[in-house]
Amino acid sequence: MSETDYLLENRNTEAAQRFTALSALFNPGTLRQFDACGMTAGWRCWEVGAGGPALARMIAERVGQAGRVLATDIDDSWAKEAATRNVEVRKHDVARDPPPDELFDLVHARLVLVHVPERERAFRNMISALKPGGWLVVEDADPALQPLSCIDPYGAEQELANRIRSGFRALLSNRGADLSFGRKLPRMFREAGLADMAAEAYFPIALPECVPLEIATIKMIRSDLLSHGIVADDEIEQHLENVRAGMLDLSQPPMISVRGRKPSSPVHGR
């Protein structure tokens, strides 16, 4: 997957705002997954598709100076801010590049595989980088499971938001995203032979962080919305005005989080 294949490119100026909003929405649930895995000082962790610096920094605090965090992305421009003595930031494609030449106590990817056409290969690469007994945590959205921006479309403002969200989903699909991928993760973990598998879903509705996330996302995809005839420019302006005015109970697709442990014997697909 090249940088230009990705609709929400890190190089966009709104990417930092989007990373901040995503971190605020989803980091608490991700950290809960890490707690369930027993993350502690001294762990070596690979953060795949790091995007911004926030989560890599949090992991670094938990593993301490005795631990290590490798944060990778196809565009590492924003993640570089996380680089410290125990955080290495590296440009890397989880599907097309060989896995790092080391083994980890934990490998984590959030909102990564849903966008990667070679997601099965990326999944195998992450498993291959685990120590025996190491944990894999993958979190991905499932927009097809809940496709609406406003789940209560009682007026024109909500209908416009849902039309824009529908167009956004179409743009993602055209770029190779699997909009029903999140629900497949438990089966993938089980078929790969990972032990102690557990999964849960988190569905944000009308949280304050949904507002800056929506604004940043719309600004990032504005030209694509226009060039594909999904909405007109004045409709985008009206939608942004509605968002800023607090007229919409914005939602995000369910985030499905799955964790599993690599057994001592080799897993399937290794």
- Our CA dihedral for 96, 170, 212, 8, rounded to 10 degrees, sits at 30
- What's the confidence (pLDDT) of residue 9? 59
SS3 assignment, position 2: coil
**125 in a structural domain:** yes
In angstroms, the CA 252 to CA 18 distance is: 13
pLDDT along the chain (270 residues), means of 10: 51 79 95 98 96 92 97 86 90 95 97 93 98 98 96 98 97 92 97 98 96 95 96 98 97 97 68
In angstroms, the CA 23 to CA 21 distance is: 5
In angstroms, the CA 205 to CA 225 distance is: 24
**270 in a structural domain:** no
Spatial neighbors of 140 by CB under 8 A, at least 6 apart, are: 110, 111, 112, 113, 114, 181, 182, 185, 255, 256
- What's the confidence (pLDDT) of residue 83? 86
Whole domain around residue 206: which residue ranges? 6-261
The domain that holds 11 is classified in CATH as: 3.40.50.150
Number of domains in the chain: 1
C-alpha distances in Å from residue 17, one per residue of 157, 174, 207: 24, 24, 16
- Which residues lie across from 106 on neighbouring strands? 45, 135
Spatial neighbors of 11 by CB under 8 A, at least 6 apart, are: 3, 75, 77
- What's the confidence (pLDDT) of residue 3? 40
Tell me the whole-structure pTM to 2 decimals: 0.91
In angstroms, the CA 256 to CA 190 distance is: 15
**269 in a structural domain:** no
In angstroms, the CA 143 to CA 149 distance is: 10
**161 in a structural domain:** yes
- What's the confidence (pLDDT) of residue 76? 82
**268 in a structural domain:** no
Burial 204-220 (b: 16+ CB within 10 A, else e): beeeebbbbbbbbbbbb
Strand ranges in 118-187 using DSSP code E only, listed in sequence order: 130-141
Dihedral sign from CA coordinates of 8, 12, 14, 17: positive
**231 in a structural domain:** yes
**71 in a structural domain:** yes
Q: How many helices (H) and strands (E) does the chain have?
A: 7, 7
**1 in a structural domain:** no
- What's the confidence (pLDDT) of residue 10? 54
In angstroms, the CA 27 to CA 36 distance is: 14
